[in-house]
Amino acid sequence: MDIVRVRLRKPRRVLSFLCEGLTLNRDDACVVHTEDGLELGVCVLPPEPRSPEETHRVRMRVLRRATPEDLQNLLDIERQEARAQEVCRRKIEKHSLPMKLVDTECAFDKSRITFHFVAENRVDFRELVRDLAHELRSRIELRHIQVRDQAKLTGGLGTCGRPLCCASFLDEFRPISMRMAKAQNLSLNPAKISGQCGKLLCCLSYESDQYEACRKRRQDGEGCQAPCAAGDAPRPVERREPAPRPAEPASADVSVQGEGAVKRKRKKKRRSKNDQA
């Protein structure tokens, strides 16, 4: 069984799909079956044969190459998403709900419309769902997401100048702590090590394991010049004893000052004797 890598339309992530009896090239549009139903995607990596163990872990599959009808359906979906997002914003303002609409996603078969929003606290949106279902004539879902999920949906460029990791290849978020930045001798200013979402950069965890392994080797006395890659042998550091410092010669100024002090004392004694006489 072959496995193909496909970038989905929403969210824009690259996932693995089973591909049987289909010939796909890079940048070919295709219709895939995901956990949420049918979706349109773009082939990123053509099909490659994999072992039975790898194919057994992949649940989703490619159904067909995209037809002209599928591409026309995509245009209709994009227009419907724009209309649904505008309607949802009006309804949120009407009900004065403390929430921010992030994105709108319409299923490829137009059976469901999903609204993604962020909010600080829980929101009672039952009236909002009824109004949306009555006007859009479709099944409505509202999903409360976090700020990191918001960055994944909206995308953008990071401080490195490349697309955001969460919007390109990260499948899940790892917990990030300030300790990771401290171990890598980075600036502890939150403004410099935070991403667009306001949270600590996800890339702080990429080399965290190497730095932690290097720190343990140093504590064990093995030494480590730099963070070693996973599986590499530690590189010991040569320990050299510090060279003894040469003795500093006595300063001539000190000796002169010492002789002058002795002469001044002798003169004071002589003056005192003459005064007494």
pLDDT tens across the length of the chain (277 residues) = 788 888 888 767 788 888 887 888 888 899 998 887 888 888 888 888 888 777 788 888 888 888 999 899 999 999 999 999 999 999 999 998 998 898 898 988 888 899 999 888 888 888 999 999 988 888 998 988 888 877 777 778 888 888 888 777 777 778 888 888 888 888 788 888 888 787 888 888 888 888 888 888 877 776 565 544 444 444 544 555 555 655 555 444 444 445 566 677 777 777 776 666 5
Q: In this structure, is residue 38 part of a structural domain?
A: yes
The distance of Cα 69 from the centroid of its chain, to the nearest Å, equals 38
| Angle at 77 (CA atoms; ends 72, 81), nearest 5 degrees | 155
Residues 83 and 126 in one domain: yes
Domain endpoint, select from 13, 35, 66: 66
- The residues with which 37 forms a beta bridge, in sequence order, are 34
Phi, psi for residue 2 in degrees, rounded to 5: -95, 155
Q: In this structure, is residue 104 part of a structural domain?
A: yes
Q: Residue 224: its pLDDT value, please?
A: 60
In the chain the first and final C-alpha atoms are separated, in Å, by 123
Are residues 38 and 66 in contact, defined by beta-carbon separation less than 8 angstroms?
no
SS3 content of the chain, % helix, strand, coil (to 5): 40, 20, 40
Domain endpoint, select from 25, 45, 66: 66
Residues 13 and 35 in one domain: yes
Residues 79 and 122 in one domain: yes
126-136 and 68-95 helices cross at what angle (nearest 10)? 140
Sheet holding 112-118, edge to edge: 100-106, 112-118, 139-144
Q: In this structure, is residue 108 part of a structural domain?
A: yes
Q: In this structure, is residue 224 part of a structural domain?
A: no
> Which pair of structure tokens corresponds to residue 28?
């070919």
Q: Global pTM?
A: 0.64
Residues 101 and 54 in one domain: no
Residues 50 and 94 in one domain: no
Q: In this structure, is residue 221 part of a structural domain?
A: no
* Residue 128 lies in domain: 73-145
Residues 56 and 114 in one domain: no
Residues 60 and 120 in one domain: no
Q: In this structure, is residue 178 part of a structural domain?
A: no
Q: Residue 89: its pLDDT value, please?
A: 92
The number of domains in the chain is 2
Q: Residue 216: its pLDDT value, please?
A: 81
Q: What is the CATH number of the domain that holds 111?
A: 3.30.300
**pLDDT tens figures, 36-56:** 788 888 888 888 888 877 778
Q: In this structure, is residue 110 part of a structural domain?
A: yes
Phi, psi for residue 62 in degrees, rounded to 5: -90, 130
Peptide bond before residue 175 is cis, with ω within 30 degrees of 0:
no
Residues counted in the chain:
277
* The three-state (H, E, C) secondary structure of 92-118, written as one string: HHHHCCCCEEEEEEECCCCCEEEEEEE
Q: In this structure, is residue 196 part of a structural domain?
A: no
Residues 122 and 82 in one domain: yes
Domain endpoint, select from 83, 111, 145: 145
Phi, psi for residue 6 in degrees, rounded to 5: -130, 135
